[in-house]
């Protein structure tokens, strides 16, 4: 296993690659990411890990130039997850899905290289065809998943409401549940102005 590359960030915002003993730019760090090289960025004074901060800077530059990957609506939704109970689960969900997608891409590229050769343009065409086919399929799958999740959430809400009703069934609250003991209240007789002797 290759040793992790150490990059130091100095107060003047310059990045120093300890492996090559030279200063590098953010574009160089992006190249390391594209080459799948393991690295860590640390503060030169405090030794604080700044890797995530640098990666977020690269994403920001990529989003600012060319075609952005994230829409404003998606970014707003992501911001709303911070501090939410779903924050940890959502991060893991996105990570697992991206990992699965990347593994599919690698396997398909390996198969294409084995069939068409290393630098054949048909390899890229095969991946493009897969994406064209996979796009509608993924949308359909995600739609079904969201529909199923909504149904499960609705069932969970109904179950919680049912448990709450059962929990407080022995207490008398105005307009809540049935009378205690399961007895039904007798309907109130309306006054007719006549007593029983008068009806005979």
pLDDT in tens, 47-67: 999 999 999 999 999 998 878
Overall number of domains in the chain: 2
pLDDT at 21 over 90: yes
Kindly state whether residues 1 and 54 are assigned to the same domain.
yes
Query: What integer pLDDT is reported at residue 47 of this predicted model?
Result: 95
Domain containing 137 equals 92-156
pLDDT of residue 45: 94
Predicted local distance difference test score (pLDDT) of residue 97: 79
What contacts 23, CB < 8 A, 6 or more positions away?
Answer: 14, 15, 16, 17
Classify residue 182: in a domain, yes or no: no
User: Above 90 in pLDDT, residue 25?
Assistant: yes
174 part of a folded domain: no
Q: What percent of the chain has pLDDT over 90?
A: 28
pLDDT confidence band for 95 (50 / 70 / 90)? confident
- Whether residue 106 sits in one domain with residue 47: no
> Is residue 27 included in any domain, yes or no?
yes
Q: How far is CA 54 from the centre of its chain?
A: 22
The mean pLDDT of the chain is: 77
Report if residue 86 sits inside a domain.
no
What are the φ/ψ torsions at residue 187 (nearest 5 degrees)? Answer: -65, 140
Return the pLDDT at 70. Answer: 87
The answer to whether position 188 is within a domain reads no
Residue 135 included in any domain:
yes
Among residues 134, 156, 178, which one ends one of the domains? 156
**Could you tell me how far CA 7 lies from the centroid of its own chain?**
30
| 150 belongs to a structural domain | yes
User: For residue 194, is pLDDT > 70?
Assistant: no
pLDDT band at 152, cuts 50/70/90?
Answer: confident
Q: How far is CA 81 from the centre of its chain?
A: 9
Could you tell me if 134 and 126 are in contact, meaning their C-beta atoms sit under 8 angstroms apart? no
Alpha-carbon span 9 to 15, nearest angstrom: 5
- The predicted structure's pLDDT at residue 18: 95
Q: Is 90 exposed, middle or buried (0-12, 13-18, 19+ CB in 10 A)?
A: middle
Is the residue at 107 inside a domain? yes
Of 62-71, 74-83, 137-146, 183-192, the least confident:
183-192
> Is residue 116 predicted with pLDDT exceeding 90?
no
Asked if pLDDT for residue 42 goes beyond 80, the answer is yes
Position 196 confidence tier, pLDDT thresholds 50, 70, 90: low
Residue with the bigger pLDDT between 22 and 133: it is 22
């Amino acid at each position: 296993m290759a040793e992790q590359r150490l990059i130091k960030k100095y107060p003047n915002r310059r990045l120093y690659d300890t492996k090559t003993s030279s200063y590098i730019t953010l574009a160089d760090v992006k190249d390391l990411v594209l080459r799948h090289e393991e690295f860590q960025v640390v503060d030169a004074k405090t030794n604080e890990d700044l890797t995530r901060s640098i990666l977020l800077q690269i994403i920001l530059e990529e989003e600012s130039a060319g075609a952005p990957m994230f829409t404003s609506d998606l970014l707003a939704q992501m911001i709303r997850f911070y501090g939410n109970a779903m924050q940890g689960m959502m991060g893991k969900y996105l990570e697992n899905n991206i990992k699965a997608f990347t593994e599919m891409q690698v396997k398909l590229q390996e198969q294409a290289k084995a069939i068409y050769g290393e630098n054949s343009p048909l390899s890229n065409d095969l991946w493009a065809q897969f994406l064209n086919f996979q796009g509608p399929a993924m949308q359909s799958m995600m739609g079904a998943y969201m529909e199923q999740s909504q149904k499960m959430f609705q069932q969970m809400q109904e179950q919680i409401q049912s448990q709450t009703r059962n929990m407080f069934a022995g207490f008398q609250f105005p307009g809540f549940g049935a009378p205690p003991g399961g007895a039904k209240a007798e309907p109130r007789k309306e006054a007719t102005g006549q007593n029983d002797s008068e009806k005979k």
